[in-house]
C-alpha cells in the first residue's frame, strides 16, 4: 500500500503569484521599481514631445481656390463676329505735283485742322512758270490800256481793241493757273483729324505716292458681314460691345448704324456698319476686334462668372464650396469605446488579493492601450482650420455674355462656386478659401494656447507652495 506525498499548503499561493508575474510583462512591464518608472516617465515625456512636434507639423493638403457667391443679375445674348476698325473720315494725301521736300511741319499723332499746312515742296519749273505768267499779265494789262486810248482817238479799229482785250484775259487765266499749280508744292490737310502716317522725309522727291494719312479718331466704325439667317435679329440702334481680338481687356462700345438692305448672293452675308462710341479711346483704326451685337437680354436671373463654368465631357459643371462632412465610421468607433468604458466602470464585485494583483497588471496594460489610443485620437483630431470641400453641381445654362452665365438649374442663390482653381477638382477635394487661416496661423494660435496653459500651471504650483 503506497502512501501519498502530502502537497504543501503554500503551493497554490505561489502558483497564483507566478501566474500574476507572468502576466505582468505582457502588460507592458508596468510593475517595476522606481528607477524604471523614472526612465519610463522620461521616455513618455520624450515621446509626447515628439508627438507635439508632429502635431504642429500637420500637412495642409487643401487646394487654394477663389470663390463667388451666386446672385441674381442680367445676362444678354449676343451675335459674335469680327472685323477691323476704320474711320468714317480718312484721307491719304498724294501731292498733285513732284518736288523736293523742303519743310515738314507736322508729325504722327499731331491733331490738324482742315487746310492746315503739312509740308512744302520745291519745284523750280512751277515757280518759273508762275513768274512768267505774272510778267505776261502785266504786259497784257499795259497793252490793253494803250489800245483803249488809241481807240478813243480813232487811231485803231474796233477789231484791234478786241484783240488786245482778249490777250489780257488770256494772260489773267494763265496767271491764275500758274498760281494754283505753284500751290501744289504746299501740302495741306483736306479734313480735320489726326496725323496717323508720315511717309516723307526732308530732301527726298515726293510725288506719285502717299505723303500723309489723316484720320478722324472721333468717327470710328466697324464693317462686318453677318450670315443671312441672323438678318431678322439685327436692326439699327442695337448695343454693341467691342473687344480687342488679342487683348480682351481692351474694350469699347458702339451701336448698329446701318444694315444693308440686300444680301450678297455670292457670300450669303449682309453688310452691317457699327458706329463706335466717341468716348471709346482704347481702340485704334486698323485694330482687329471681336464684335458682340446684343440681340436679347434676360433680367433678374441666377448668374455665375464665366470663370466658374467648367465643361466636363461636354456638360456644364460648377464646383461648389461646402462644409466637410464628419466621418461616420470614426464616430461609431468612439461611441463603442465610450459604451465599453461605461461597462467597465459598472463592475462592482470586490476581488480577492491575487485577483487584485492580476487586475493591477491588466489595468497597467489597459492604461498603455489607452495612452496609445489617446495619441491616435490626438493625431486623428481635425486640423485647427475650417474644413471645406468641393462638391460637383451639374448645371443647365442659358445666355452667356463676356462676363456672366445664366444658370437655369443646378444652383440656388447664395451658393458659393469656385472661380479660380476649379480645373482639377473632384468630389470631396479639401479646399481653402483666401480668407481661411493657413498652417502658420493655426500654429501660432496653438503656441499661444500652450503658453497660456503653462502660465496657469506655474501659478497653481506657486499657490500650492505658498500654502
- In this structure, are residues 282 and 250 in contact, taking their beta carbons and an 8 Å threshold? yes
Where do the domains of the chain lie, and which CATH numbers do they carry?
76-88+215-298 (2.40.30.170), 92-122+185-214 (2.40.50.100), 124-183 (1.10.287.470)
Quick one: pLDDT band at residue 452, thresholds 50, 70, 90?
Answer: low
Radius of gyration over every alpha carbon of the chain, rounded to an integer in angstroms: 50
In this predicted model, what pLDDT tens digit does every residue of 339-371 receive, in sequence order? 555 555 444 455 565 566 666 666 766 666 666
Q: How confident is the model at residue 28 (pLDDT cuts 50, 70, 90)?
A: very low
Pairing verdict, β 63-64 and 430-432: parallel
Q: What confidence tier does 394 reach under pLDDT thresholds 50, 70, 90?
A: very high
Q: What is the pLDDT of residues 272-331, one digit of tens each?
A: 999 999 888 888 888 999 999 998 899 999 999 999 999 999 999 999 999 887 655 555
Whether the pLDDT of residue 447 is over 70: the answer is no
**Confidence band for 194, pLDDT divided at 50, 70 and 90:** very high
**Are 32 and 40 a contacting pair, CB within 8 Å?**
yes
pTM above 0.85, yes or no: no
Pick from 181, 188, 184: nearest CA to 130: 181
C-alpha cell at 259: 444694315
Residues whose CB is less than 8 angstroms from the CB of residue 17 and which lie 6 or more positions away in sequence, other chains included = 354, 357
User: Does the structure show a pLDDT above 50 at 1?
Assistant: no
Kindly report the number of other CB atoms within 10 A of residue 216's CB atom.
16
For 230-284, write each residue's pLDDT tens digit.
988 999 999 999 988 888 788 899 999 999 999 999 999 999 999 999 888 888 8
Confidence band for 442, pLDDT divided at 50, 70 and 90: low
C-alpha cell at 316: 456644364
Separation between Cα atoms, residue 259 and residue 232, nearest integer Å: 11
Q: How far apart are CA 333 and CA 377, in angstroms?
A: 11
Angle between helices 353-380 and 11-26 (to 10 degrees): 10
Q: What is the pLDDT of residue 37?
A: 47
What confidence category does residue 462 fall into, taking pLDDT thresholds of 50, 70 and 90?
A: low
Q: Which string of b and e fits 321-357 if b means at least 16 CB within 10 Å?
A: bbeeeeeeeeeeeeeeeeeeeeeeeeeeeeeeeeeeb
Residue 407 scores a pLDDT above 90: yes
For residue 66, is pLDDT > 60?
yes
Amino acid at each position: 500500500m503506497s502512501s501519498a506525498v502530502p502537497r504543501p499548503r503554500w503551493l497554490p499561493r505561489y502558483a497564483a503569484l507566478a501566474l500574476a508575474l507572468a502576466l505582468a510583462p505582457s502588460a507592458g512591464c508596468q510593475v517595476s521599481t522606481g528607477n524604471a518608472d523614472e526612465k519610463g516617465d522620461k521616455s513618455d515625456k520624450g515621446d509626447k514631445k515628439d508627438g507635439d512636434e508632429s502635431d504642429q507639423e500637420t500637412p495642409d493638403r487643401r487646394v487654394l481656390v477663389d470663390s463667388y457667391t451666386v446672385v441674381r443679375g442680367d445676362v444678354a445674348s449676343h451675335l459674335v463676329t469680327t472685323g477691323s476698325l476704320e474711320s468714317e473720315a480718312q484721307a491719304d494725301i498724294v501731292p498733285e505735283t513732284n518736288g523736293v521736300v523742303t519743310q515738314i511741319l507736322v508729325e504722327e499723332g499731331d491733331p490738324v485742322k482742315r487746310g492746315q499746312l503739312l509740308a512744302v515742296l520745291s519745284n523750280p519749273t512751277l515757280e518759273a512758270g508762275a513768274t512768267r505768267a505774272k510778267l505776261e499779265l502785266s504786259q497784257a494789262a499795259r497793252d490793253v490800256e494803250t489800245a483803249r486810248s488809241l481807240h478813243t482817238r480813232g487811231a485803231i479799229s474796233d477789231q484791234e481793241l478786241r484783240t488786245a482785250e482778249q490777250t489780257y484775259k488770256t494772260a489773267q487765266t494763265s496767271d491764275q493757273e500758274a498760281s494754283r499749280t505753284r500751290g501744289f508744292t504746299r501740302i495741306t490737310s483736306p479734313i480735320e483729324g489726326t496725323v496717323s502716317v508720315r511717309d516723307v522725309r526732308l530732301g527726298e522727291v515726293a510725288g506719285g505716292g502717299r505723303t500723309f494719312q489723316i484720320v478722324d479718331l472721333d468717327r470710328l466704325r466697324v464693317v462686318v458681314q453677318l450670315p443671312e439667317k441672323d438678318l431678322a435679329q439685327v436692326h439699327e440702334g442695337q448695343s454693341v460691345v467691342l473687344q480687342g481680338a488679342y487683348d480682351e481687356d481692351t474694350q469699347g462700345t458702339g451701336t448698329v448704324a446701318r444694315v444693308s438692305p440686300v444680301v450678297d448672293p455670292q457670300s450669303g452675308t449682309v453688310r452691317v456698319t457699327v458706329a463706335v462710341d466717341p468716348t471709346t479711346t482704347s481702340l485704334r483704326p486698323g485694330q482687329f476686334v471681336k464684335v458682340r451685337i446684343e440681340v436679347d437680354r434676360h433680367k433678374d436671373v441666377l448668374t455665375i462668372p464665366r470663370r466658374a463654368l467648367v465643361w466636363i465631357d461636354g456638360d456644364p459643371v460648377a464646383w461648389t464650396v461646402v462644409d466637410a462632412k464628419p466621418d461616420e465610421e470614426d464616430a461609431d468607433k468612439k461611441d463603442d469605446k465610450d459604451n465599453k468604458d461605461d461597462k467597465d466602470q459598472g463592475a462592482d464585485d470586490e476581488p480577492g488579493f491575487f485577483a487584485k494583483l492580476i487586475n493591477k497588471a491588466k489595468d497597467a496594460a489597459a492604461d498603455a492601450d489607452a495612452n496609445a489610443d489617446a495619441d491616435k485620437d490626438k493625431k486623428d483630431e481635425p486640423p485647427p482650420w475650417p474644413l471645406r470641400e468641393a462638391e460637383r453641381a451639374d448645371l443647365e445654362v442659358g445666355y452667356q455674355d463676356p462676363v456672366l452665365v445664366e444658370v437655369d438649374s443646378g444652383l440656388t442663390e447664395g451658393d458659393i462656386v469656385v472661380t479660380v482653381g476649379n480645373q482639377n477638382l473632384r468630389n470631396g477635394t479639401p479646399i481653402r478659401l483666401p480668407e481661411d487661416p493657413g498652417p502658420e496661423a493655426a500654429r501660432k494660435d496653438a503656441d499661444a494656447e500652450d503658453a497660456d496653459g503653462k502660465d496657469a500651471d506655474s501659478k497653481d504650483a506657486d499657490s500650492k507652495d505658498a500654502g
